[in-house]
Amino acid sequence: MTSHWQEISAELEKIRTKNLYRQCKVSSGIDFCSNDYLGLAKSGLLKEKMKENLSQDTLGSTAARLIKGHRQSMEDWERKFSEFVGAGASLSLANGYVANMGLIDTIADSRTAVFTDRLNHASILDGIRISGAIKKYYDHLDLDHLEEQVSKWDRDPASPGKRKKIIVSETLFSMDGDKPDIRRLVEIKKKYDCVLILDEAHSFGVFGKEGRGMCFEDLSREEMDSIEYRVYTLGKSLGLEGGIIATTELGREHLVNRMRPFIFSTAPMPMIFTTASDSLDLIRDMEKEREHLLRIASILRDGLAREGFSVSSTVSQIVPILMDTEEEALYYSAELRKIGFDVIAIRPPTVPTPRLRVSLNALLTEKEVLRLIEALVVVRRAKR
């Protein structure tokens, strides 16, 4: 074995020793872990739409969009999505990770300060790292700390060139299920002349008028128009795959000309965009599903609290059950899987505190949620 593979083997052994080893497993049991919040990934109607859309074009796009991969259906989808979320223009990417990473890499450089919530998604943090920007953490949801950091940066004579400041936050945090004060984020952005990026991945489809996202829940149209970039995904409530950035026409033009993951990547399959348009039509009318989803989330939170489980300050369909150790999180996940519940253990470095991330979807029944609570109690009793 060469020295390289010896080094890799030693690293993997360290990961195993810390109970941080990861592997891909085929899912089984009742779905309490996916991000298919409205159940559209399983929709028979949407599957039929995709079959119809497949027959209208090539399987693959065959090239990047600036070569031969572009389609009229892509323009139609981006226009329709922009109208839905109240944006001037939008640009589609392969997935949400690429959208966040590529966006930040495109608009930031070594003289840019990026102020990021400490618990923002890896795609955001990697975008900051790749761009070479100056990363400034603020404590999770602590917007007083954010404003203190931004103000300090403005007062510091050593700040390089006072060139650009970017604030970036998720509107619904994927591992904690909580949310920031979005209106306050907009106020700070305006007060200190910052660019604001909001990631709506986990709120889209669930919150806001017709599922348009948390910004539509909390902000006026004028406040929303002041946000430079909002990032969405097709891979959660829409039931498909892909990412999309909502911005202005000027913002889209700039990304088309400068965003490397867009310029140098083969475009996604054309049928994704036509089917995304069909999915968007369905989401508009799924108010009953949204109400049901948030109702069973409330039932789960209340039930876990009554049984003495430690739950994060969630306000959503994402309900993390906090654990003391990685070993404990893995034990609960394995035991729940044995009795038919698909619940995943999430561990560092993904999160600071080990947990079971219970992610609800609109296809779950109240009875299934109550059964999960009972199963957790049984597993805890057996562990003791």
pLDDT tens digits along 196-217: 999 999 999 999 999 999 999 9
The answer on pLDDT for 25 being more than 90 is no
Q: What is the mean pLDDT of residues 115-140?
A: 97
Q: Are 137 and 113 a contacting pair, CB within 8 Å? A: no
pLDDT level of residue 162 (50, 70, 90 thresholds): low
Q: What is the CA radius of gyration of the chain?
A: 22
Six-digit token string for 22: 């990861």
pLDDT level of residue 161 (50, 70, 90 thresholds): low
The answer on pLDDT for 156 being more than 90 is no
The answer on pLDDT for 368 being more than 90 is yes
Which residues in 183-316 belong to E strands, given as ranges? 195-199, 229-233, 243-247
The answer on pLDDT for 247 being more than 90 is yes
The answer on pLDDT for 189 being more than 90 is yes
Higher pLDDT, 171 or 1: 171
Read off the pLDDT of residues 337-367 as tens digits, 9 standing for 90 and up: 999 999 999 999 999 999 999 999 999 999 9
Six-digit token string for 32: 């309490």
User: Which among 165, 224, 156, 163 is positioned nearest to 193, based on CA atoms?
Assistant: 165
The answer on pLDDT for 35 being more than 70 is yes
Beta bridge partners of 227: none
Our CA dihedral for 55, 58, 59, 65, rounded to 10 degrees, sits at -130
CATH topology of domain 22-38+287-383: Aspartate Aminotransferase, domain 1 (3.90.1150)
Q: Where are the domains of the chain?
A: 22-38+287-383, 45-284
User: Which among 149, 194, 135 is positioned nearest to 167, based on CA atoms?
Assistant: 194
Q: Are 296 and 369 a contacting pair, CB within 8 Å? A: yes
The answer on pLDDT for 160 being more than 70 is no
What's the CA angle centered on 369, arms 42 and 290, to 5 degrees? Answer: 55
The answer on pLDDT for 1 being more than 80 is no
Q: What is the mean pLDDT of residues 241-261?
A: 98
| Residue type at 219 in one-letter notation | L
Output the average pLDDT for the chain: 95
Token pair 């109400």 is at which residue?
291
- What are the strands of the beta sheet with 134-138, ordered from one edge? 89-93, 243-247, 229-233, 195-199, 164-170, 112-117, 134-138
pLDDT level of residue 157 (50, 70, 90 thresholds): confident
Token pair 């002349």 is at which residue?
193
Q: Are 267 and 67 a contacting pair, CB within 8 Å? A: no
Report the distance separating Cα 227 and Cα 198, nearest Å.
8
CATH topology of domain 45-284: Aspartate Aminotransferase; domain 2 (3.40.640)
What does the pLDDT read at residue 28? 87
Q: What is the mean pLDDT of residues 41-62?
A: 93
| Residue type at 58 in one-letter notation | T
Report the distance separating Cα 92 and Cα 78, nearest Å.
7
The answer on pLDDT for 59 being more than 80 is yes
Which residues in 39-133 belong to E strands, given as ranges? 89-93, 112-117
Read off the pLDDT of residues 63-112 as tens digits, 9 standing for 90 and up: 999 999 999 999 999 999 999 999 999 999 999 999 999 999 999 999 99
Q: Do domains 22-38+287-383 and 45-284 have the same CATH topology?
A: no
Which residues in the chain belong to E strands, given as ranges? 30-31, 89-93, 112-117, 134-138, 164-170, 195-199, 229-233, 243-247, 318-322, 341-342, 344-346, 355-359
User: Which among 273, 282, 208 is positioned nearest to 243, based on CA atoms?
Assistant: 273
The answer on pLDDT for 158 being more than 90 is no
Read off the pLDDT of residues 267-312 as tens digits, 9 standing for 90 and up: 999 999 999 999 999 999 999 999 999 999 999 999 999 999 999 9
Report the distance separating Cα 179 and Cα 218, nearest Å.
11
pTM (2 d.p.): 0.95
What does the pLDDT read at residue 104? 98
Q: What is the mean pLDDT of residues 151-156?
A: 90
Using the Cα atoms of residue 284, residue 285, residue 286 and residue 290 in order, give the sign of their dihedral.
positive
Q: What is the mean pLDDT of residues 229-252?
A: 98
Which percentage of the chain shows pLDDT scores above 90? 93
pLDDT level of residue 56 (50, 70, 90 thresholds): confident
Report the distance separating Cα 214 and Cα 59, nearest Å.
34
